[in-house]
Structure 1
Amino acid sequence: MPAAVLFDLDDTLIDETTASRDAVLAWAAELELTGPGADQRWARISARHYSRYQRRELSFAQQRRERVRDFLGTALTDTAADRLFATYLRHYEAAWTVFDDAVPTLRRARESGLRVAVLTNGEHSQQHHKLERLSLLSEIDLLVASSTLPAGKPDPGAFRHTVNHLGVEPVDVVMVGDSLEKDVFGARAAGLSAILLDRDGTRAGSGVPRVRSLNDLVFTPDRKMTPT
Structure 2
Amino acid sequence: MEPRQIKGVLFDAFGTLCRTESLRLPYRSIMRRWEKGAADCYQAIMTRDATLAEFASEAGLPQEEKTLLETHVAEEVRSMRLFPEVSQTLQALRGHGLKIAVVSNLAKPYGAPFLELLPFAPDARAFSYEVGARKPEAPIYRYAWEGLGCVPDELLMVGDSLQNDYQAPQALGLHALWLDRKAGSLQSENGHIVHSLQSVLGYLGIVS
What is the TM-score of this pair, normalised by structure 1? Answer: 0.72
Instruction: Name which of structure 1's ranges 136-145 and 151-160 shifts more when overlaid on structure 2.
Output: 136-145
What's the CA shift string for 1:185-210, capped at 9, x where partnerless? 12112210110110001222442401
Structure 1's 13 and 51: CA in aligned 2 closer, same or farther, altered over 3 A? farther
Partner of 1:170: 152
Q: Tell me, what secondary structure is at the counterpart of 1:118? A: strand
Question: 1:79-98 alignment to 2 at 5 Å?
Answer: 79-98=63-82
What's the CA shift string for 1:144-168, capped at 9, x where partnerless? 2011223211112211111011101
Q: Tell me, what secondary structure is at the counterpart of 1:143? A: strand
**For 1:56, which of 44, 51, 60 is the aligned residue?**
44
Q: Tell me, what secondary structure is at the counterpart of 2:80? A: coil
Give, in angstroms, the shift of residue 80 of structure 1.
2.1
What's the CA shift string for 1:79-116, capped at 9, x where partnerless? 22220112212321221111001111111111111100
- Whole-angstrom distance in 1 between the partners of 2:123 and 2:45: 31
Structure 1's 54 and 86: CA in aligned 2 closer, same or farther, altered over 3 A? closer
Partner of 1:211: 194
Structure 1's 187 and 86: CA in aligned 2 closer, same or farther, altered over 3 A? same
Instruction: Name which of structure 1's ranges 169-178 and 207-216 shifts more when overlaid on structure 2.
Output: 207-216
- Whole-angstrom distance in 2 between the partners of 1:125 and 1:95: 13
Residue 120 of structure 1 pairs with residue 108 of structure 2: no
TM-align CA RMSD: 3.1
Partner of 1:65: 56
- Whole-angstrom distance in 2 between the partners of 1:144 and 1:53: 20
Letter of the 1:12 partner, please give it: T
Q: Tell me, what secondary structure is at the counterpart of 1:217? A: helix
* 1:198–1:210 contact (8 Å) kept in structure 2: yes
Partner of 1:10: 14
- Whole-angstrom distance in 2 between the partners of 1:154 and 1:88: 27
Question: Runs of 5+ in structure 2 lacking a partner?
Answer: 33-37
Residue 19 of structure 1 pairs with residue 27 of structure 2: no
**For 1:190, which of 146, 160, 172 is the aligned residue?**
172
Give, in angstroms, the shift of residue 43 of structure 1.
9.2
Question: Runs of 5+ in structure 1 lacking a partner?
Answer: 25-41, 70-74
- Whole-angstrom distance in 2 between the partners of 1:80 and 1:202: 42
What is the TM-score of this pair, normalised by structure 2? Answer: 0.79
